[in-house]
Every structure is written in structure tokens, then in C-alpha cells.
Structure 1
Amino acid sequence: MPTSLTLKNIPYAVYQRLKAAAELHRRSLNSEAIVCLESVLMAGRVAPSDRLARARELRAGLPPVQFSAKDIDAAKQAGRK
């Protein structure tokens, strides 16, 4: 059941960051505050071993590719143009 909350004495720097984030995400200050609170308070913690297992699973699904140092240097140079 939704309810209301009034915040007082918010540090100006925190307010500015919240306002900037709300504009970036095209949300109201209220909606941005709710998203921020949810991300901190409702976030599901993932054990490092589970995260590592998932990364290995994803990597196993990729085709094997070998890059030489020359290939890597060429890619870096291409990205700088």
C-alpha cells in the first residue's frame, strides 16, 4: 500500500544530485527518490560465487576467438580515429 513521506533538511548537494538524476532519467524528483530508495533498500544481493558462475556460463556460450597483440593494437587504433 503506497504511503507518503516528507523529507526535511536534505543537504543541498544531495538535492542537486537527485535533481540532476531525475532530469537525466526524465523522472520527477519524487519518482527518482523512490527509485533510489528501492535500489538501495530492495536490492537483491548476489553472492560473488553466483556472479562468477553466471559470468563463466555466459563466456562458455560465446564462440572461441583468439586475438593477437597485433589485432588488439589495430582495434585500439581504429577506435581512436
Structure 2
Amino acid sequence: MPTITIKNIPEELYEALKSTAENHHRSINSEVIIRLEQALLPRLKTPKDKLTNIQRLRAQISPNVISADDIDDIINNGRA
């Protein structure tokens, strides 16, 4: 597998990369590889992929969490 060396990384950029890697529980090297993949090899989503994602997210939402009466009460209380 090829290896690269990156020189003269600005301190601010390095610290941001280090922090992001820690937040994702990854090494700095793994974080760099993932970021390069995201930037250079974006996965194009088809309309079907997008629809599946929307449906998955919609299934997680509880319907009718706020009723029309709740909205009226909030509006009326805000005018008091």
C-alpha cells in the first residue's frame, strides 16, 4: 500500500484534524484517509438511495406529537 508524507501542515489544521480524529475514535492517519475518500471519491446517491434514506428517517419520527390544540395553546400563551 502506498505511503505519503505531508509536510508543513498549519498548526490550526493539524489540531482540528487531531480533535476530529479523537471525536470519531480514530487515529489521525485513519481520519486523513476517510477525509480524502470523502473529498475525492464521493458516492453518488441515486434517487432511490435518497428516497430510502428519507423513508428511514421519516419512520423514526413520532406522528402527531403536537396537536392543533397544543399549537393554539402555545400561540395564545405567547400573546398573554
Which TM-score bucket, shorter chain as reference?
0.5 to 0.7
1:40 is matched with which residue? 39
Amino acid at match of 2:18: K
Q: Structure 1 stretches of 5 or more lacking a match?
A: 75-81
Per-residue CA distance 1:27-57 (angstroms, 9 max, x = gap): 111111111111111121225xx13x443x5
Q: Percent same amino acid among aligned pairs?
A: 37
TM-score (norm 1): 0.59
Within 5 Å, give how 1:20-59 maps onto structure 2: 20-46=19-45, 50=47, 51=50, 53-54=51-52, 55=54
Q: 1:1-81 maps to which residues of 2 (within 5 A)?
A: 2-46=1-45, 50=47, 51=50, 53-54=51-52, 55=54, 65-66=63-64, 68-69=67-68, 70=70
TM-score, structure 2 as length reference: 0.60
Aligned length: 66
Alpha-carbon distance between aligned partners in 1 of 2:45 and 2:16, rounded to the nearest angstrom? 27
Q: Secondary structure at the match of 1:13?
A: helix
* Aligned-CA RMSD value: 2.9
Aligned-partner Cα distance in 1 for 2:10–2:44: 28
